[in-house]
Structure 1
Amino acid sequence: MCCEACSVTQRKGWIFGFGTFFTAIGIALLIFWNGIADNIMKKNLVIKVGTEAYNNWVEAPIPIYLEFHLFNWSNPEEIRNPNVKPHFVEMGPYVFLEKHLKQNITFFENNTVSYFQKRTWFFDEQRSSGSLDDMVTAAHVITATVADQMRHRNKFVKKAVNFILNHEGGELYTTKTVREWIFEGYKDRLIDFLNLFNTTIPYTRFGWLVDRNGSAEYDGLFTMHTGVDDMANLGRLTHWNMKNETGFYYAPCGTVNGTTGDLFPPHLSSKQEITIFATDACRYLNLAPNGTVEKYGITAYNWVGTMETLDSGENYPNQKCFCDPNVEECPKTGVVECKKCRNNAPIYASFPHFYLADRSYLDAVSGLEPDSNKHSFNLAIEPTTGIPLQVNGRLQINMMIEPDNDFDIYRGLPKFLMPMFWFNQIAVLDEKLASRTKLVMNLGDYGFYTGIVLITIGGIFFIVAIVLTLTKRWKRTPIDDDEDMLTT
């Protein structure tokens, strides 16, 4: 047996020493581990070259999918029949695998970083319900845009525009393939004609995401906090396209605010709102806490879009600045105007199927059925680390159709908001990253329980030492060949 030649004093020193050592380490862990764990977590979460968080931020490590749902206008020929509502049939989803890559990354001395975000989409036929060659009928966007821009011009100008629309390709509606409506775009007589006069139409083909696939610059230049100096600011945007105001809404609604949705600070409260900056609407969206979500043994707080999220001041006065005071009528709750953001086209955003919007929008059409499970905007975030667990970013793009007796195409029409399409951006944390997340979020517990174990071990050494002292059994003396006995 070890230490057989040790004196009683040496044996006491060893046992009391081990007890003191383990107890001291255990107590130190209980006192200081939370600070150590926070430093470890900070090093793993801040955006700094060389960290795992930086690598995951530059290129998303989990699959992201974009679901496209287009609305087919099934009865456009009956638009002037007051007894028949415009009817829409949802088609899709047409699903695309979405790859994210940060480019032109530049760090600044004030602990911010600027970057472009390149997004590339690949059609996933297996996940889709339908083909990109499906035909979809919807409003002719260019005609609607021209008519809306000319709505308040004098009669002479409007007569000239009416002549152009009637003879150069103006239409109430058009039918194109899904691939043309989304990424490829389609050639159009009216676009060609308007481009001859260097008008404000900024494209040669129309498609909802034309020229966007694979483009780094389309979404703009983002500048955000890295979290190096203050983790509470991690991911928060300071500028978009080098400005802290969008220019599309009056302050404070035009302020560049929130995160892009892929990065959040740690230690989130279940009672606070979170803010997402949505480039498709050129504005921020406030989401409210709403329960929890569990996946892979991780419990996350869930945030959702509410009636306030897309209100323009009708029910929530603090949202009034999202309505241009120069317009004749602000949208009712649940719908926001995006004209300036979308090249002055009469575009309005809402949740899918007018979920949480004023009932009048839904009553003006048929074929839509809002459902909170299918159409809510929700975001589940693990609160300790700020890592998104599950994302369903859902928005619908609509076009305002208004009657105008000066334009033959729009004479005698009802006024209604036409649903064009809605999308769902989906991202779900995979099991591998979930395991890493649990490791980081449980660091504090690991230190606490390790401290308790070490203190327990130290206590056992002290108990043994005390028992040996009280029983005076520190010294070994042999009794026979087979056994030893501790004696004083």
Structure 2
Amino acid sequence: MCSNKDIVSAKFAVAMFPEKNRCFIFKIVGSCLVILGLLHAFFSETLVNNLMEKEMVLSPDSKTFDLWKKPPVKVTLDFYMFNWTNPQDFQNLNIKPKFEELGPYRFTEVPHKVDIKWHPDNASMTYRKQSKYYFDAAGSKGRLEDEIVTVNSLAVSLSAKAKRWSPLRRRVIDIALKVYHNDITMKKSMDELLFEGFEDVLLNVANFLPSSLTDVKVPFDKFGYCYPRNHSVDVTGLYNIHTGADDISKFGQIHTWNYRNTTGAYAPECSKVYGSAGEFQSVYLKPHKPIHFFLSDVCRTVRMDYVETTEVEGVKGFRYEGGKRMVDNGTLYPENVCHCNGECVPSGLINISSCWFGSPMFISYPHFYDADPYYLSEVDGLRPEKQKHELYLVLEPKTGLMLEMAARLQSNILVEPISDFTMFRNRRRIFFPLFWFEARTRVSPDLANEFKIMPRVTLCGQILGGISVLIGVVLLLWYPVKAHLQNRLIQQIKINNLDSETHRVVGKTISLQPEISPLLVTTAQERTKILERTDTRLSDLSIGESTNSADRSSMQSSASTT
């Protein structure tokens, strides 16, 4: 037979086992939630970055490749022409050339890539750029038929090239310039000066003569500032870029240009081919660090410096500007002296003559913005403004993709006196502004929403991780806290029971303590006095009754005796 004690112990054990099981389960689940939550909170960004890197790698099936091949963004190209208003005064050294800015003449550029070839052995690809330009009459301030008066760039280029030739060859060029009608100016339509181009006798002569005589062969049958860029694939050259398959840090960076890692247009230290090919910048950009772009039109890599962090269509981006460093020739930044190319001029102009078949071409910001004051002092009609003429772009820091761009550059040609040529004898030395352009693009709202997904996913992962940790901590602390509260409750019950016993034993004393209401104390005292008087009266009555009883007993005894 089991005793009552054994039965009670068995019931207690049955009651305790489920409690222990629940406590154990709570600890296991809580620990797992805490661990998973911490992993989610601290490594969700890493997971998102890994997914992004896989999507960023250029491959025939990647989404990035489709965006790169035919960008969905719209590129607006505005041209501003400098119309020369006083060419008749060019021989007068006391009168500055005056210019009137015409435009904008707006074009829409549709860029895409052709001749794409993949090279898995070194994780690279080669391609050519092709752009189609469509005139936007509604967005333009002028027509393609507008006539522009400007300097004869062909005559200037030929004379600048021939000034270092032998006397006999210089004499031949002087005769050719006289036959050409000996005019330093030319009037052409806007369309002819830009994309359409026009035939010229000097260009035909230069192409007819052997390259040993002219030192350079111009591969064009017409002359135009942007001829033959429209629909052409040969102007910008052949690019080879890294796909990022072997190293994501190389993503979008140029490997070679025209099969070479140097351009040969400048001194060796400035001829290296590196930086972004234009469409992609390195991933994981860091603030306060510059970025580099390779520009085939100037045959060199240019640097842009970080300025600030801003927002475009609600997406955070890093803003970079060209600044004075980009157009310096060593005056302000000694490391740029190798870009002088034999013609070191004051800061503000880039000598690109070696990239333009020997023509004395120089690139600057529009209206000589951020340039040495010398250039503005030689002309009339140019007024530089930061908001209108600075060059900047905004990049999304994780992917390096373009959010906004305003590329503004001006083409100038150096006109200088050359005594061997009648056309340029006793002329003013001037950097003659030809035109400037503004290429603008901005990310579309739909594409901007895709950029917003990554930080949102990261934030959601961190929030869920925090919630998971919080729930796990609650589960881990549930039973310890519950046991603690139960112990406190038991102790409080014991104290209350003890207090109740004390009140029963010394109830009257406790009721007369000073902390009780004075009215209650007074009432209790009056009741005590009444009880005392009642006790006294009862005592007196008892004594009287006792005396009367004794007298009656004595009387009864006497009567009996008698």
Indicate whether the TM-score tops 0.5: yes
1:155-234 mapped onto 2 (5 Å cutoff) = 155-198=167-210, 200-234=217-251
Q: Is the 8 A contact 1:169 1:189 kept in 2?
A: no
**Code of the aligned partner of 2:394:** A
Residues 303-346 of structure 1: CA deviation (Å, up to 9, x unaligned): 1112221212222221111123xx3x412211121112111111
Match of 1:310 in 2: 327
- Identify which of 264, 289, 297 aligns with 1:272: 289
Q: Secondary structure at the match of 1:307?
A: helix
Q: Is the 8 A contact 1:187 1:205 kept in 2?
A: yes
* Separation (CA, whole Å) in 2 of partners of 1:285 and 1:259: 10
* Separation (CA, whole Å) in 2 of partners of 1:229 and 1:455: 37
Over 3 Å counting, the alpha-carbon distance change for 1:19 and 1:80 in structure 2 is: same
- Identify which of 47, 61, 83 aligns with 1:36: 47
By how many angstroms is 1:127 displaced? 2.0
Residues 364-402 of structure 1: CA deviation (Å, up to 9, x unaligned): 111111111111111111212222211111111101111
Match of 2:468 in 1: 454
Q: Is the 8 A contact 1:354 1:361 kept in 2?
A: yes
- Identify which of 37, 42, 63 aligns with 1:52: 63
**Code of the aligned partner of 1:137:** V
* Separation (CA, whole Å) in 2 of partners of 1:322 and 1:79: 30
* Separation (CA, whole Å) in 1 of partners of 2:383 and 2:485: 82
Q: Is the 8 A contact 2:75 2:108 kept in 1?
A: yes
* Separation (CA, whole Å) in 2 of partners of 1:28 and 1:300: 28
Structure with more contact order per residue of length (Cα contacts < 8 Å, sep ≥ 6): 1
Match of 1:22 in 2: 33
Gaps of 5+ in 2: 1-17, 212-216, 487-562
Q: TM-score, normalised by structure 2?
A: 0.78
- Identify which of 436, 443, 451 aligns with 1:422: 436
By how many angstroms is 1:170 displaced? 4.9
By how many angstroms is 1:16 displaced? 5.7
Instruction: Please say if 1:75 is aligned against 2:89.
Output: no
Q: TM-score, normalised by structure 1?
A: 0.89
* Separation (CA, whole Å) in 1 of partners of 2:300 and 2:96: 32
Instruction: Please say if 1:141 is aligned against 2:153.
Output: yes
Q: Secondary structure at the match of 1:301?
A: strand
**Code of the aligned partner of 2:39:** A
- Identify which of 239, 247, 256 aligns with 2:273: 256
Over 3 Å counting, the alpha-carbon distance change for 1:14 and 1:241 in structure 2 is: same
Choose 167-176 or 239-248, whichever is displaced more: 167-176
By how many angstroms is 1:196 displaced? 3.5
Q: Secondary structure at the match of 2:125?
A: strand
Gaps of 5+ in 1: 1-6, 473-488
Q: How many residues were matched structurally?
A: 464
Q: Secondary structure at the match of 2:324?
A: coil
Instruction: Please say if 1:367 is aligned against 2:384.
Output: no
Q: Is the 8 A contact 1:145 1:346 kept in 2?
A: yes
* Separation (CA, whole Å) in 2 of partners of 1:41 and 1:427: 24
The structure in which a higher percent of residues are helix is 2
Q: Is the 8 A contact 1:307 1:356 kept in 2?
A: yes
1:431-446 mapped onto 2 (5 Å cutoff) = 431-446=445-460
Instruction: Please say if 1:405 is aligned against 2:419.
Output: yes
**Code of the aligned partner of 2:60:** V
* Separation (CA, whole Å) in 2 of partners of 1:193 and 1:115: 34
Match of 2:103 in 1: 92
- Identify which of 276, 291, 294 aligns with 2:308: 291
**Code of the aligned partner of 1:80:** Q
* % identical equivalent positions: 29
